[in-house]
Amino acid sequence: MENPVIDLKGLTKCYGSQKAVDNLNLSISKGEIFGLLGPNGAGKTTTILMMLGLTEPTAGTATVCGYNATTNPIAVKKKVGYMPDSVGFYDSMSALDNLVYIGRLNGIPEAAVTDRALEMLDVIGLGGSAHKKTATFSRGMKQRLGLAEVLLKRPEVIILDEPTLGIDPSGVREFLTLIHRLSREQGLTVLLSSHHLNQVQQVCDRVGIFAGGRLQAEGSMDKLSRHLSTSEGYMVSITVGEKLPVPWPLSEPLRQLPAVQHVTVNGQVAEITCHADITPELVRFFVHHGLDVMGVHKKQYELDDIYQKYFDDHATETNTHEKSGRLFQRTFTAYQQAS
Ligand SMILES: Nc1ncnc2c1ncn2[C@@H]1O[C@H](COP(=O)(O)OP(=O)(O)OP(=O)(O)O)[C@@H](O)[C@H]1O
């Protein structure tokens, strides 16, 4: 990849004898929406901390917008907006006042800060609520306000940690549409950490699947789905016009076709697993034997299947997750205060 915006090379973080992140190599290009997926304790937060220069890698480098995050964290901070999973605002202040306050902390000149805050409120669709106290905001509105806060300093990269946690389905859709639009219109690079597979699937150009500190798989959904089909087999269901008897006399001749591994029948449906995609041959076989083919369905592996495959052996205890989450929150608060 040429000139990646995020470039992680051999990134490793050990806590004592435990490798929280183990030799991570990953490049993300400008304008990409990348989904970081993984169960609790997989190493996502630790990776983000290293990318923000908030914790030092044990080995390897994290380069963000051309800067080494460990040796030049301030330069990285200027380019990167980070939104933690739970965003906090001063409840007794309006949305606008909250943003202006954060804008000042970020060093936006006094003459520009109110206009910039109003502009961001419009971008995220809260222009009409600028003067309302944030105490009255729903969780979805607060998340959008969190995004406005992140966008205030016009970052090149935004890192969102579980951004849709606790939002209702329509709020989630709105939020993800907004992220997608911003990325496409402004060339924003987005790194989105999430457990919500379906949401990630909708919005990300690429996903990385993390488990046990290692990147188990990475690529577009299509690529991962194809990869799983190759390793797990292609599953084709063919529905015919009549109920198939059990045992089905054609099972054995069907099994003789090259690439066919298993055949099962259930009512009018025959399910055939193959190690190559031979759907046309299968349909010809059915027609040749005088069966009316009513439907053909090829299984597409979804993110759920992919997630399942890579995560099953790696899920870790919830208490370790809570501990690291608290550490992240504390470290991030320090990061904000240092600005
Ligand atoms: N400060 C720390 N000291 C010791 N171990 C830690 C520390 N921070 C994280 N870990 C461990 O490193 C591993 C990776 O944790 P990390 O928080 O990066 O995972 P995660 O993928 O972000 O999980 P979650 O989705 O729960 O936030 C876990 O086993 C965790 O217990």
Nearest-CA residue for atom 29 of ligand 1: 41
What integer pLDDT is reported at residue 327 of this predicted model?
38
Q: Quick check: CB of 46 below 6 Å from ligand 1?
A: yes
Is the same domain home to 171 and 262? Answer: no
Q: Quick check: CB of 15 below 6 Å from ligand 1?
A: yes
Q: Which domain CATH number covers 289?
A: 3.30.70
Residue 156 lies in a domain: yes
Residue 1 lies in a domain: no
**What ipTM is given for this predicted complex?**
0.96
171 CA to centre of ligand 1 in angstroms: 29
What integer pLDDT is reported at residue 311 of this predicted model?
65
What integer pLDDT is reported at residue 18 of this predicted model?
92
pLDDT in tens, the chain (339 residues): 778 999 999 999 999 999 999 999 999 999 999 999 888 888 888 999 999 999 999 999 999 999 999 999 999 999 999 998 778 899 999 999 999 999 999 889 999 999 999 999 998 889 999 999 999 998 888 988 999 999 998 999 999 988 887 778 888 888 888 899 989 998 999 999 987 777 777 789 999 988 888 998 899 888 887 777 777 788 899 999 999 999 999 999 999 999 999 999 999 999 999 988 899 999 999 999 999 999 999 887 777 777 777 766 454 433 344 333 333 333 334 344 433
Residue 61 lies in a domain: yes
How many Cα atoms sit within 13 Å of 146 on the Cβ side? Answer: 25
Q: 164: which residues sit within 8 A by CB, 6+ positions away? A: 143, 171, 172, 175, 176, 194, 196, 199
What integer pLDDT is reported at residue 171 of this predicted model?
81
Is the same domain home to 18 and 147? Answer: yes
Domain count, the chain: 2
What integer pLDDT is reported at residue 264 of this predicted model?
95
Q: Which domain CATH number covers 326?
A: 3.40.50.300
Is the same domain home to 321 and 289? Answer: no
What integer pLDDT is reported at residue 113 of this predicted model?
94
What integer pLDDT is reported at residue 328 of this predicted model?
35
Is the same domain home to 247 and 171? Answer: no
Q: Which domain holds residue 272?
A: 233-298
* Ligand 1 closest atom vs CA 47: 18
Residue 304 lies in a domain: no
291 CA to centre of ligand 1 in angstroms: 56
232 burial via Cβ count (<10 Å: 0-12, 13-18, 19+) = middle
